[in-house]
């Protein structure tokens, strides 16, 4: 006789744990299997305060162990040995439930696991799932674990995509690659190097320009309490022989970045490959199942960012709400569970990820934007700020002269504006 539970979740990352916590708080019987022990991956990401609220009630944003408020953003236009930086100050958030924060996955995942367990979720770490429970092409009705059936009305796939709800559908090839390393540093060093205001931090996004002669590439730095995450983003067709990891090394050795991580201890490099569009073989919902986080293709890379943490938490929380309604109504039909992608659309998450994918695709298809614009920006500021002893030209004539000298076409500038309009 099969073991039975209302909802079974495969995968103990942020998306699966967010769904488990929400279901347990609603009094739904939920069991989560994970091959690991909820330790989380290195590094982290940026989340909004409104994302943290649904994790368990109005006081949760005050309790969630986020690292720093995002108080400033900085864009770097790199050459091989120099850079021009543009700073953008964000208005301070009067409440933790508002604004943006950086979070470390290795801190947030154990916290979420403990919260879900306290609320009554049945968490089973160190347990791999053999496969999905289904008959032929019929509905998914649970999972198989160690040769035994576990029956569930709703199965939530949060495993990153290793279990495919549609086995025969082709997957899209990855179009972008991300490599990230976490540098452990004392909190005071992070504050001194990437502190915008008291308790807040500066997020850096960089266009590599001449640093990546093979093709368009970008990178980012995220400040945390105990270190800095450094990442590199590149298209799979334009990557150097060592891929994004080689570009990450160049970025870390750049004169603008080395002082920020100097004296820190570099952790292992994590690598991620993503498609510009969600994978065909990973539908978001269907008869008896929902797919959250990267299992549903809910992650994206732009020219200079990797968006996954906020998407994982939001998709997990929304999936938990849809699964709860399915259990209450004893209905896990494809029609009932189609409320999940509709809710993701109403939340704005799908539009945000689509904008990031569009930005990344445009950036990687426009070498002039990736190389010419950083070089021209550096040349412009050099002309404006260097004293030559003669009279200075006005900014607009100087910009025109630099554009002509660098052979930057109006078409390239227009494409740069189109890409930049999708970064925010």
Assess contact for 266 and 183: CB atoms under 8 A. Answer: yes
Average pLDDT score over residue span 332-337: 96
Residue 95 lies in a domain: no
pLDDT number for residue 200: 80
Whether residues 9 and 114 fall in one domain: yes
Whether residues 204 and 241 fall in one domain: yes
Whether residues 154 and 200 fall in one domain: no
| Number of domains observed in the structure of the chain | 3
Residue 86 lies in a domain: no
Average pLDDT score over residue span 378-398: 62
- Length of the chain as a residue count: 424
H helices present in 128-195, as ranges: 187-194
- Residue 218 domain boundaries: 176-274
Distance CA 17, CA 109 (A): 7
Handedness of CA 110, 114, 119, 124 (dihedral sign): positive
Whether residues 162 and 280 fall in one domain: yes
- Mark which of 274, 298, 318 sits at the end of a domain: 274
E strand or H helix at 401: helix 395-405
3-state secondary structure of 248: helix
Distance CA 124, CA 117 (A): 10
CA-nearest of 348, 323, 316, 353 to 338 is: 323
Q: What is the pLDDT of residues 266-311, one digit of tens each?
A: 999 999 998 887 766 678 999 999 999 999 999 999 888 899 999 9
Average pLDDT score over residue span 176-200: 88
- What percent of the chain is predicted at pLDDT more than 90? 50
CA-nearest of 14, 268, 55 to 160 is: 14
As to burial, measured by CB atoms within 10 angstroms (0-12 exposed, 13-18 middle, 19+ buried), residue 87 is: exposed
3-state secondary structure of 410: helix
Whether residues 188 and 310 fall in one domain: no
Distance CA 358, CA 371 (A): 19
User: Which residues are bridge partners to 233 per DSSP?
Assistant: 178, 218
Whether residues 7 and 32 fall in one domain: yes
Q: What is the pLDDT of residues 241-261, one digit of tens each?
A: 999 999 999 999 999 999 999
- Determine the Cα angle at 396 with ends 366 and 388, to 5°: 105
Q: Quick one: pLDDT band at residue 409, thresholds 50, 70, 90?
A: low
Token pair recorded at residue 249: 């090394």
- Mark which of 246, 274, 302 sits at the end of a domain: 274
Whether residues 375 and 346 fall in one domain: no
Whether residues 370 and 348 fall in one domain: no
User: Domain of 266: which CATH number?
Assistant: 3.30.9.90
Helices 373-385 and 410-420, axial angle in degrees (round to 10): 100
CA-nearest of 122, 123, 114 to 63 is: 114
Whether residues 57 and 124 fall in one domain: yes
pLDDT number for residue 375: 63
How crowded is residue 50: how many other Cβ atoms within 10 Å of its Cβ?
14
Token pair recorded at residue 299: 């992650």
Q: Quick one: pLDDT band at residue 143, thresholds 50, 70, 90?
A: very high
Whether residues 382 and 396 fall in one domain: yes
pTM of the model: 0.86
Q: What is the pLDDT of residues 89-119, one digit of tens each?
A: 655 454 545 678 888 998 899 999 999 999 9
Residue 241 lies in a domain: yes
Residue 154 lies in a domain: yes
Residue 75 lies in a domain: no
Considering only residues 266 and 400, tell me which one the structure prediction assigns the higher pLDDT. Answer: 266
- What percent of the chain is predicted at pLDDT more than 70? 79
Whether residues 298 and 198 fall in one domain: no
pLDDT above 90 (res 127): yes
User: Which residues are bridge partners to 227 per DSSP?
Assistant: 184, 224
Average pLDDT of the residues of the chain: 84
Token pair recorded at residue 193: 């190097």
User: Domain of 40: which CATH number?
Assistant: 3.50.50.60
Residue 87 lies in a domain: no
Rounding to the nearest 10 degrees, give the CA dihedral for residues 91, 65, 24, 324. 30
Q: In the chain, count of helices (H) and strands (E)?
A: 15, 20
Whether residues 191 and 244 fall in one domain: yes
Residue 27 lies in a domain: yes
Residue 224 lies in a domain: yes
């Amino acid at each position: 006789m099969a073991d039975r539970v209302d909802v079974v979740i495969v995968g103990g990352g942020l998306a699966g744990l967010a769904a488990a916590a929400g279901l347990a708080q609603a009094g739904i019987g939920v069991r989560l299997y994970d091959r690991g022990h909820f330790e989380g991956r290195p590094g982290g990401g940026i989340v909004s305060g409104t994302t943290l609220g649904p994790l368990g009630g109005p006081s949760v944003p005050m309790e969630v162990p986020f690292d720093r408020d995002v108080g400033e953003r900085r864009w770097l236009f790199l050459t091989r040995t120099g850079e021009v930086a543009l700073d953008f100050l964000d208005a301070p958030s009067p409440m933790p439930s508002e604004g943006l924060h950086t979070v470390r996955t290795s801190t947030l995942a154990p916290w979420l696991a403990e919260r879900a367990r306290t609320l009554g979720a049945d968490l089973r770490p160190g347990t791999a799932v053999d496969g999905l429970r289904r008959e032929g092409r019929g509905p998914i009705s649970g999972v198989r674990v160690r040769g035994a059936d576990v029956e569930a009305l709703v199965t939530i796939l949060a495993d990153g995509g290793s279990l495919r709800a549609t086995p025969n559908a082709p997957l899209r090839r990855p179009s972008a690659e991300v490599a990230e390393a976490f540098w452990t540093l004392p909190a005071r060093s992070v504050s001194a190097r990437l502190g915008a205001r008291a308790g807040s931090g500066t997020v850096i996004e960089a266009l590599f320009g001449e640093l990546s002669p093979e093709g368009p590439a970008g990178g980012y730095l995220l400040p945390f309490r105990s270190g800095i995450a450094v990442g590199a983003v590149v298209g799979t067709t334009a990557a150097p022989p060592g891929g994004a990891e080689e570009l990450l090394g160049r970025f870390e050795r750049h004169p603008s970045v080395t002082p920020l991580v100097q004296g820190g201890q570099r952790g292992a490099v994590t690598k991620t490959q993503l498609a510009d569009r969600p994978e065909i073989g990973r539908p978001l919902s269907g008869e008896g199942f929902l797919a959250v986080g990267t299992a549903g293709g809910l992650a994206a890379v732009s020219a200079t960012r990797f968006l996954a943490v906020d998407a994982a938490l939001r998709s997990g929380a929304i999936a938990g709400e849809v699964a709860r309604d399915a259990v209450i109504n004893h209905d896990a039909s494809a029609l009932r569970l189609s409320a999940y992608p509709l809710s993701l659309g109403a939340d704005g998450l799908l539009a945000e990820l689509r904008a990031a994918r569009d930005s990344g695709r445009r950036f990687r298809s426009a070498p002039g934007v990736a190389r010419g614009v950083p070089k021209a920006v550096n040349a412009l500021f050099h002309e404006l700020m260097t004293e030559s002893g003669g009279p200075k030209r006005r900014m607009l004539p100087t910009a025109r002269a630099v554009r002509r000298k660098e052979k930057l076409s109006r078409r390239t500038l227009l494409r740069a504006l189109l890409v930049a309009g999708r970064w925010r």
